Structure 1
């Protein structure tokens, strides 16, 4: 983690804070997409047709990892972003970038959960 130097202006510190928040958000979304792709590839071997019973032949572990893998990663990333928001706020820097990333990740978690959980857990 970079520490601000005496030559850094407040505007440079704000850009650095926002940049690190944006990089964190992109990394978490990338990991969640990778996990979703891997679990989708794993489940595709037992998938039968389409519709509500398409995953009936899959094992419980396969269905649960498909339904909860990516949403759990996005949720954990959102919680970490909110913890970082508090830390940045306590240090007197601009915290809004981290809070925005936290809300973005939690919204993505809800979208991913509503797309995968009904199909895999029912």
Structure 2
């Protein structure tokens, strides 16, 4: 049994799942940004969508971390994915101006 405070998490499947989730959320946000820049009218509303997509992705990753924690799995991988998406969300706030 691995204690939560130990740093010996080795779960390639969980890492792969979290990485694919992050890539998918970032790709959706990037496609939304390209559409926002192409449309051009109502720029604030369209670019704010990127922030909302990343926020929802981060919340989804933290929900998944909680679900994995309840199953006694390697939840810190999903928590890291959630915080990474939140950091991208904060960086994307500059797009909406």
Fold conserved between structures, TM > 0.5:
yes
Give the deviation of 1:85 after TM superposition: 0.3
Match of 2:32 among 31, 35, 38: 35
Q: Which residue of 2 aligns with 1:52?
A: none
Q: Is the 8 A contact 1:79 1:102 kept in 2?
A: yes
Q: How many equivalent residue pairs?
A: 89
Could you state the TM-score of these two structures normalised by the residue count of structure 2? 0.85
Q: Is the 8 A contact 2:62 2:79 kept in 1?
A: yes
Q: Which residue of 2 aligns with 1:100?
A: 80
Q: Which residue of 2 aligns with 1:51?
A: none
CA RMSD of aligned residues (A): 1.5
Q: Which runs of 5+ in 2 are unaligned?
A: 1-8
Q: Is the 8 A contact 1:22 1:97 kept in 2?
A: no
Q: Which runs of 5+ in 1 are unaligned?
A: 1-9, 44-57
Compare CA radii of gyration and give the structure with the larger one: 1
Give the deviation of 1:15 after TM superposition: 1.1
Runs of 4 or more, structure 1, over 6 Å off, are: none
Could you state the TM-score of these two structures normalised by the residue count of structure 1? 0.68
Q: Which residue of 2 aligns with 1:83?
A: 63
